[in-house]
């Protein structure tokens, strides 16, 4: 039995016993600032299928336990209904705080209303939760900056500011239900669009991206590598005939980049010769290996350990009734209110600095990367 499961099982058992004996909870708070139980923090993560969320969940779970809290960590297989059920089950255990990395940022209003009724505080983790007043804080990396770094990398690599071009660009965006995806795209497109407008970047697939709001025209739902791969296959098969080559791919993250790289490989592109520039995000292991093998040009690294530390600190501040640290109170309007946020800085990693940034910081061992 895994540690997390053991904790959950223990917590579930305690709640069942409490319900059976007619108590509202076996761990009623003695500092009565809230009606929720004193020590439990619920953590809802979207999926185990992407490396980053496994790291995020495990890391936050460990930090909270180290700080003396009980946790219930749940993964929802990228299924919105499953995440809602998991949140409902956590709410039944009366935690002090829920930390939620949502799947669909607009689907949690009703379940969070129940949390609010029990005075459970909610922190949106990495992804904003929209269209509800019942989200108290947001902690994330600067999402717009992630896209901006990808756009600036492309401009620099291609020498666009020096007037070079035209180059063939294929743009992609993240899942259309993820609030972050539009920020990533906007950050990149604000940098790249002037070059599309001037004809220095050409989009052979003809995707319509006249404004940042058109990002859903290139969205890959569920952020899956497979969908990105088949979309790239389609574009290459349909629009890159007669020897035409793609020079650059704007990929918002590593899972999409992986699929795009598989497509390029199957179409006969060769690293070091005609392989295009490709961006990414997350520093997933497979992608860092691809960076070392010249199959990906960069990744935007978000050291999820720092996000975990920040969120763990915020949880502690909430539970102790202290002022909760935020550094942005204007950017993230969720449609009902501006959610006070803490934004962390993302960092570009290329082949040249995999060692100094990812290994020396302890994010990966040299061994794991085959260095």
DSSP β-bridge partners for residue 97? 41, 121
Closest to ligand BGC by CB, 256 vs 359, is 256
Closest to ligand BGC by CB, 83 vs 180, is 180
Residues with Cβ within 8 Å of 256's Cβ and at least 6 positions away in sequence, in order, are 172, 174, 220, 223, 225, 228, 280
Select from 34, 36, 180, 299 the one that contacts ligand BGC (CB under 6 A): 180
DSSP β-bridge partners for residue 300? 281, 348
Select from 281, 297, 299, 310 the one that contacts ligand BGC (CB under 6 A): 281
Q: What are 137's two structure tokens? A: 């804080």
Q: How far is the CB of 326 from ligand BGC (least distance, A)?
A: 19
Q: How far is the CB of 341 from ligand BGC (least distance, A)?
A: 14
Give the integer Cα–Cα distance in Å for 236 and 85: 41
Closest to ligand BGC by CB, 174 vs 340, is 174
Closest to ligand BGC by CB, 11 vs 128, is 128
- Asked whether position 56 contacts ligand BGC by CB under 6 A, the answer is no
- Select from 57-65, 80-88, 173-181, 291-299 the region that touches ligand BGC (CB under 6 A): 173-181
- Asked whether position 303 contacts ligand BGC by CB under 6 A, the answer is no
- Asked whether position 50 contacts ligand BGC by CB under 6 A, the answer is yes
Closest to ligand BGC by CB, 148 vs 200, is 148
- Asked whether position 52 contacts ligand BGC by CB under 6 A, the answer is yes
Q: How far is the CB of 93 from ligand BGC (least distance, A)?
A: 26
- Asked whether position 223 contacts ligand BGC by CB under 6 A, the answer is yes
Select from 70, 126, 247, 316 the one that contacts ligand BGC (CB under 6 A): 126
Distances (CA, A) of 345 to 55, 138, 322, 370: 18, 15, 24, 27
- Select from 10-18, 172-180, 270-278, 337-345 the region that touches ligand BGC (CB under 6 A): 172-180
- Applying the rule CB under 6 A, the residues between 320 and 339 that interact with ligand BGC are none
- Asked whether position 282 contacts ligand BGC by CB under 6 A, the answer is yes
DSSP β-bridge partners for residue 338? 333
Please, what's the largest Cα pairwise distance for the chain? 76
DSSP β-bridge partners for residue 277? 248
- Select from 148-156, 174-182, 225-233, 314-322 the region that touches ligand BGC (CB under 6 A): 174-182
Own/partner pairs for 1-9, CB < 8 Å, 24+ apart? 4/61, 4/71, 4/72, 4/73, 7/70, 7/71, 7/72, 7/73, 8/72, 8/73, 8/74
Number of residues counted as binding ligand BGC (CB under 6 A):
12
Q: How far is the CB of 119 from ligand BGC (least distance, A)?
A: 28
Closest to ligand BGC by CB, 50 vs 160, is 50
Q: How many whole angstroms from its chain centre is CA 21?
A: 41
- Asked whether position 127 contacts ligand BGC by CB under 6 A, the answer is yes
- Asked whether position 261 contacts ligand BGC by CB under 6 A, the answer is no
Give the integer Cα–Cα distance in Å for 90 and 94: 7
- Asked whether position 27 contacts ligand BGC by CB under 6 A, the answer is no
Task: Cis check for the bond before 166: say yes or no (omega within 30 of 0).
Answer: yes
Q: Kindly state the DSSP code that residue 362 receives in the 8-state scheme.
A: T
Q: What are 261's two structure tokens? A: 């790289």
Q: Nearest to ligand BGC by Cβ — which residue?
A: 253
Give the integer Cα–Cα distance in Å for 42 and 86: 9
- Asked whether position 108 contacts ligand BGC by CB under 6 A, the answer is no
Q: What are 290's two structure tokens? A: 């691809």
DSSP β-bridge partners for residue 40? 70
The C-alpha angle with vertex 369 and arms to 365 and 371, in degrees rounded to 5, equals: 90
Half-sphere exposure of 179 (CA within 13 A, CB side): 24
Select from 38, 71, 134, 253 the one that contacts ligand BGC (CB under 6 A): 253
Select from 61, 142, 177, 178 the one that contacts ligand BGC (CB under 6 A): 178
Q: Is 22 helix (H, G, I), strand (E, B) or coil?
A: coil
**Residue numbers of the site for ligand BGC (CB under 6 A)?**
50, 52, 126-127, 174, 178, 180, 223, 253, 255, 281-282
């Amino acid at each position: 039995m895994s540690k997390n499961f053991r904790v959950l099982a223990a917590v579930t058992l305690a709640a069942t016993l409490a319900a059976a004996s007619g108590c509202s909870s076996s761990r009623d708070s003695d500092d009565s600032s809230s009606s929720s139980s004193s020590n439990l923090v619920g953590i809802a993560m979207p999926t185990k299928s992407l490396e980053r969320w496994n790291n995020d969940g495990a890391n936050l779970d460990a930090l909270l336990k180290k700080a003396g809290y009980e946790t219930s960590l749940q993964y929802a297989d990228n299924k919105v209904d499953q995440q809602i059920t998991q949140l409902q089950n956590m709410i039944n255990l009366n935690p002090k705080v829920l930390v939620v990395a949502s799947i669909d940022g607009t689907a949690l209003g009703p379940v969070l209303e129940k949390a609010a009724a029990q005075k459970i505080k909610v922190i949106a983790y990495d992804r904003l939760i929209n269209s509800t007043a019942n989200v108290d804080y947001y902690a994330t990396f600067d999402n717009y900056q992630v896209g901006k770094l990808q756009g600036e990398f492309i401009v620099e690599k291609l020498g666009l500011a020096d007037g070079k071009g035209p180059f063939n660009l294929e743009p992609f965006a993240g899942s259309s239900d993820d609030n972050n995806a539009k920020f990533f795209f906007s950050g990149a497109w604000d940098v790249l669009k002037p070059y599309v407008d001037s004809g220095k970047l050409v989009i052979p697939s003809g995707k319509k991206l006249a404004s940042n709001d058109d990002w859903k025209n290139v969205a890959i739902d569920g952020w899956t590598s497979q969908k990105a791969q088949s979309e790239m296959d389609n574009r290459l098969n349909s629009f890159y005939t007669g020897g035409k080559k793609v020079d650059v791919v704007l990929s918002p993250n590593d899972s999409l980049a992986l699929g795009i790289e598989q497509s390029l490989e199957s179409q006969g592109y060769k690293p070091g010769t005609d392989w295009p520039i490709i961006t990414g995000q997350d520093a997933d292991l497979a992608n860092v290996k691809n960076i070392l093998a010249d199959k990906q040009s960069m990744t935007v690294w978000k050291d999820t350990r720092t996000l975990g530390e920040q969120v763990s600190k915020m949880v502690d501040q909430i539970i102790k009734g202290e002022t909760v640290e935020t550094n942005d109170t204007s950017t993230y309007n969720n449609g009902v209110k501006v959610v006070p946020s803490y934004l962390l800085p993302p960092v570009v990693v290329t082949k040249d600095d995999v060692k100094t940034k990812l290994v020396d910081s302890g994010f990966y061992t040299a061994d794991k990367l085959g260095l």
